[in-house]
Structure 1
Amino acid sequence: MSTLFYLNPSSSILNHPHSHFKTPPKRPSSYITSGGPPQPTPPQQLQTFWQWLSEEKVVTHKSPAKPGVVSEGLGLVAQRDISRNEVVLEVPKKLWINPESVAASEIGSVCSGLKPWVCVALFLIREKMRGGESWWWRYIDVLPECTDSTIFWSEEELYEIQGTQLLSTTVGCKDYVQSEFLRVEEEIILPNQKLFPSTITVEDFLWAFGILRSRAFSRLRGQNLVLIPLADLINHSSSIKTEDYAYEIKGAGLFSRDLIFSLRSPVAVKAGEQVLIQYDLNKSNAELALDYGFIESGSDRVTYTLNLDIAESDENFGDKLDIAETNGMNTTAYFDITLDQPLPKEMLPYLRLVALGGTDAFLLESIFRNAVWDHLQLPVSRANEEVICQVVRNACKSALAGYNTTLEEDEKLKTDGNLSPRLQIAVGIRAGEKKVLHHIDSIFKEREQELDELEYYQERRLRDLGLVGEQGDIIFWEPK
């Protein structure tokens, strides 16, 4: 048949409709590896950073929380008991780094028109290269050189996620950063060497991208992308199940036009414990690994993206596209399938539309145009439903063959333990994807076994016309 639909291992979070920079800060890993023992004495960079914040009147010795070395790297540690929803810190706008602060800087005039993240990345790199001459050097000194995000993995480490959607997403992400770098190098950096006296490389750009991807706050009033020094040290907790009211932008006072970033603790915290927040309840493990460099164990984070296409070679392409667009979809549809969860509501109707052909193509006629999506909510014909099952199951089998290990081997590695943080991520990601693929396959295998028991369009139509008996047999009327 001329239609095409498949499980796409190259599905990219970068191009996914739900993907954007809506990311709170990342658990940094600049001083100790994840899971390492806490260090009692903060490093000098952290003490200098705190002193700077004190001089800028952002913190005092009475502040509820203070930066500290924790198992994740750096974090915010309660200096006293903190109650639920209590304000932990407030950072004035003068300490924010966002497109507005870039516009007011020496490079602001040459950065106008750039994408927000690109101009902030360029600013970060330049300030880092200026060292002690930069007003921001105390903050930049506590930023990690890399994280456990897959964009920083070596070729050997990336080999461990061979066959996963995360690998193709990571490669796509790095290619995207490189293309943006080459463009900004040609248009901004090289023509303005007085502003950028030091050589800037694609590795520098990738570092800045990783910092922003992992630490920038968004979903804030009037702010699409902003770094908040001190606040971005806060780490993530999987046990916190709400994102509401953890942080906001508000006025500095009744008679002040200044703005401050206010961070609250969503749960009560004892003195000496970390203040934590929930980064994003909707992110999958692949997104957590790409953005922050960690994953969770819960099945609700384990997803696989099904990519469905209406092929342009389909003789009914125009009609199918019209139906898809009428119902808020397009030639390509992405469905995130979560482990042990039902299929997304619109997935089967879209599958049936893509596979529609032969004698079933009558549903594409204009007379059915307003009702066809309703008809697609239920099985159309045995042939249509059988094709769907066979193609999806074959796609699952093909995707599973693309991994370097079996699910059983991954589970044994997890059981044996002693995995490095990055290998732990790799094993968790590939095992999770395999589980979802088996989950998808089992759904369609079960459906395949029920094909003879399903009721299809023609039978429903006859029943609606009163032409089907109580036993399901067709009623024939003989002439008198």
Structure 2
Amino acid sequence: MELSRLSLSENHFFSTPIPRSSISHRLPTLLSLCTNSRRRRGLCSASNSDTLVAATGKKRNEDDNDLKTWMHKNGLPPCKVVLKDKPSLDDSHKPIHYVAASEDLQVGLSTAANMGLGPVQNKAELLTTNKFSELACLALYLMYEKKQGKKSFWYPYIRELDRQRGRGQLAVESPLLWSESELEYLAGSPLKDEILKRIEGIRKEYNELDTVWFMSGSLFQQYPYDLPTEAFPFEIFKQAFAAVQSCVVHLQNVSLARRFALVPLGPPLLSYCSNCKAMLSAVDGAVELVVDRPYKAGDPIVVWCGPQPNTKLLTNYGFVDEDNSNDRLIVEAALSTEDPQYQDKRMVAQRNGKLSIQTFYVYAGKEREAVSDMIPYLRLGYVTDPSEMQSVISSQGPVCPMSPCMERAVLDQLADYFNTRLAAYPTTLAEDESMLTDGSLNPKRRVATQLVRLEKKMLHACLQATTDFINQLPDHSVSPCPAPYAPSIK
């Protein structure tokens, strides 16, 4: 549906930009937080001092003011959204909130939201060490902000993020926070190893916290607390990292230094959607969202999550999108460096836009095209005769079939590869589909099963495409060519 931009009038549902003169008493805007060091406020989770993501579902004495009321008190005009509850999948945790339309909304509605950007003062100083990411910088700063409790200007927003517990729209935490037994739900998927590597990366950043804290004293001087690693154990830092990751916005129309932002009425209160066109953009010191579809009162407001595969959606936001056109598998192929003709083959590969170690992306619904792209590259690795190699070098374009036995060898290697990947999963595709019909299925198990099911569907489609190519061979009795330097595939 084509987007249309309407002027900010009575139909806006967040807020108009706040005048710079009112900064000291109102919610900071994007530009003021980037330039005004007197109002460097953190925006992450919580209200007690020992966790960033609340560890229990115990009822606490909370202010009557919710997030939206707090925003109205600090400059948010009347708006046409409400915060609604979605029951938690765990009875020990509070319901999560989400932003919904308070009345019918039309396509093209242009909206703006006051926002806070994470700490940027001396951020370059922190990041030039190559030991600390922007998300880790935000997590550390916000953990210190959390220690101020109700004294923090951002306490209502911090409390709201604590309620969310880093949970996305399916009320499931990022796998970064799953137990070892829960990570087994991802057995067979490359995501399991990626999560473990990501956790180790977070641990390395945690081990650098004290160094960063000393290096950027001007950023942390207002917090008279112990060294970071003494004040916060690793598990709390990991929770903070996951919480920031679940709600950070990659803004459009800003410099790279300002791309990461935390928006009070943004994610995870806004639902992510991979097939919509609405996105958050910085406009004149505010965040603007142009809705791409009509909404009925009570409908959750959705925003584009960017071209992310489901592995990223699950890691960052705790959900899987069944209709994600950006979902993909990764296949890595590499020419053998022991091949006497390696340099010639490397040159031919580069001439055709490929590398000696080539990554192929298999997108959902485009598996046959991906297999067709892999075959010429694999053929190159099977060339052994020097005269054939000279023919390949002198020709233009991708490597064409050289012989029936080579073609059979290439296709057999691909079929074996896809079968091996499918065999690595402890369950079959049919078993996954049956499991998902169980309404009482553990929420983490459900979202993990959704992910591996979609991976298996892509692998089965790749295997079917390979089988179709094998069936097109003129002579099925031909034995595959020997391949002393066959490319590796992983």
TM-score after normalising by structure 2: 0.71
- Alignment match of 2:373 (pick from 323, 346, 349): 346
Which residue in 1 is equivalent to 2:203?
178
- Matched position secondary structure for 2:340: coil
Deviation at 1:142, TM superposition (A): 1.0
Match of 2:110 among 84, 87, 90: 87
Counterpart for residue 411 of structure 1? 433
Which string of whole-angstrom CA distances, capped at 9 and with x for unpartnered residues, describes residues 86-106 of structure 1?
Answer: 134421xxx422352x439xx
Equivalent residue number for residue 265 of structure 2: 230
Residues 82/427 of structure 1: CA separation in 2 closer, same or farther (3 Å cut): same
Which residue is 2:98 aligned to?
75
Q: For residues 139-190 of structure 1, give each alpha carbon's deviation from its aligned partner in whole angstroms, at most 9, with x where no partner exists.
A: 1111133332211111111111111112122112112211222233445369
Match of 2:69 among 51, 56, 65: 51
CA distance in 1, matches of 2:64, 2:264: 12
Structure-2 change in CA distance of 1:133 and 1:77 (3 Å)? same
**Is the 2:310–2:320 Cα contact (8 Å) retained in structure 1?**
yes
1:103 equivalent in structure 2: 122
Instruction: Give the conservation status (yes or no) of the 8 Å contact 1:310–1:331.
Output: yes
8 A contact 2:334–2:358 mirrored in 1: yes
Match of 1:159 among 184, 188, 191: 184
Q: Flag the 1:233–1:408 CA change in 2: closer, same or farther, 3 A.
A: closer
Mapped to 2, the partners of 1:231 and 1:237 lie a distance apart of: 10
Please give the TM-score of this superposition, normalised by the length of structure 1. Answer: 0.72
Maintained 8 Å contact 1:248/1:262:
yes
- Cα drift, residue 424 of structure 1: 0.8
Deviations 1:45-65 (A, max 9, x none): 6833223212220x23x2121
Count the aligned residue pairs.
391
Matched, 1:249 2:282: yes
Q: Percent identity?
A: 20
Q: Are 1:64 and 1:89, in contact at CA under 8 Å, matched by a contact in 2? A: no
Q: Helix, strand or coil for the counterpart of 2:160?
A: coil
- Equivalent positions of 1:24-43 (< 5 A) are none
Tell which deviates more after alignment, 266-275 or 153-162.
266-275
The residue identity in structure 2 corresponding to 1:267 is R
Secondary structure at the counterpart of residue 74 of structure 1: strand
Where in structure 1 are there 5+ consecutive unaligned residues? Answer: 1-29, 32-42, 252-258, 455-480
Change (3 A) 1:325 1:421: same
2:140 aligned residue? 122
Q: Which runs of 5+ in 2 are unaligned?
A: 1-52, 55-60, 89-95, 168-172, 477-490
Aligned equivalent of 2:158, options 129, 140, 148: 140
1:428/1:111 CA distance change after superposition, 3 Å: closer
Structure of greater relative contact order (alpha carbons < 8 Å, 6+ residues apart): 1
1:442 maps to what in 2?
464
| Alignment-mate amino acid for residue 78 of structure 1 | A
Residue 422 to residue 415, structure 1, CA distance change in 2 (3 Å): same
Could you give the per-residue CA deviations for residues 98-123 of structure 1, whole angstroms, max 9, x where no partner exists?
352x439xxx9767755333322221
Q: CA RMSD in A?
A: 3.2
Match of 2:82 among 66, 71, 80: 66
Instruction: Decide whether aligned partners of structure 1 residues 54 and 331 sit closer, same or farther in structure 2, where only a CA change above 3 A counts.
Output: same
